[in-house]
Amino acid sequence: MIKNHYLICLFISLISLSLNAETVLEQKSTENLNNKELNWFSLRIPESEYTSSHQDQRTFKLKAHKHLAHTTLLLTAGTLVTAVMAKRDINRNRAARGHTMLPQDADELKLHMALAGATLLSYYTTAYFSITAPKSEAMIDSENLKWHKRFSYIHMPGMILAPVLGLMAYNDYKKGKNPTGIAKMHRPVMALTSLALLGAVISIEF
């Protein structure tokens, strides 16, 4: 009786393993190209599998990338302008008090921070459309596109680092003092990032 029980369990286990193996094979055989398109670590699609549908998706995503890049650049410019205006107002208020800093001086940065948040949202949305655009292995990047990518090696890390430094600087202002330590690098890092963004747009437009 016990022996029969073990045989039944073994039989059920074999059936289960067989079904699982069949399911895995079926998933591999029916794997669609959409997974390849959205895989950030395997962005190129073999030439034999690159279809007109992929080309339509690529065209749509790159057009969206281009238009959003212009929006990002305008938002970046607005962020820089409001930063200069906020710094001017903070210095003016501080001078009126005999060069003393107060925590409420950080309120001058609210518009700057709101634009900075909108810039980041626009930037990462822009990057998403570029990264996920289908591309055939047969495609060769033009010289302009190569420069566009080179600039991305500057502005992408900058768009990660600058907001962190900005928050550190803002916290210093809220404590009633000027940015200290690495937070002082917020402005030069964002200036370099902005120039790289401008270069990336120019390299595609001309």
Q: Taking the C-alpha atoms of 22, 27, 30 and 34 in order, what is their torsion angle to the nearest 10 degrees? A: 180
For position 140, what pLDDT does the model report?
84
Residue 84: phi and psi, rounded to 5, are: -65, -45
d(CA 89, CA 70): 29
For position 206, what pLDDT does the model report?
72
pTM above 0.85, yes or no: no
Q: Using alpha carbons, select from 69, 57, 198 the residue that is nearest to residue 123.
A: 69
Contact at 8 Å (CB) between 111 and 82? Answer: yes
CA distances (Å), 93 to each of 61, 87, 111, 141, in order? 47, 10, 17, 52
> Residue 45 pairs with which residues in a beta bridge?
136
Alpha-helix residue ranges (DSSP H) falling in 98-185: 110-131, 143-174
DSSP code for 45? E
d(CA 200, CA 2): 74
**Which residues of the chain are under the pLDDT cut of 50?**
1-15, 17-41
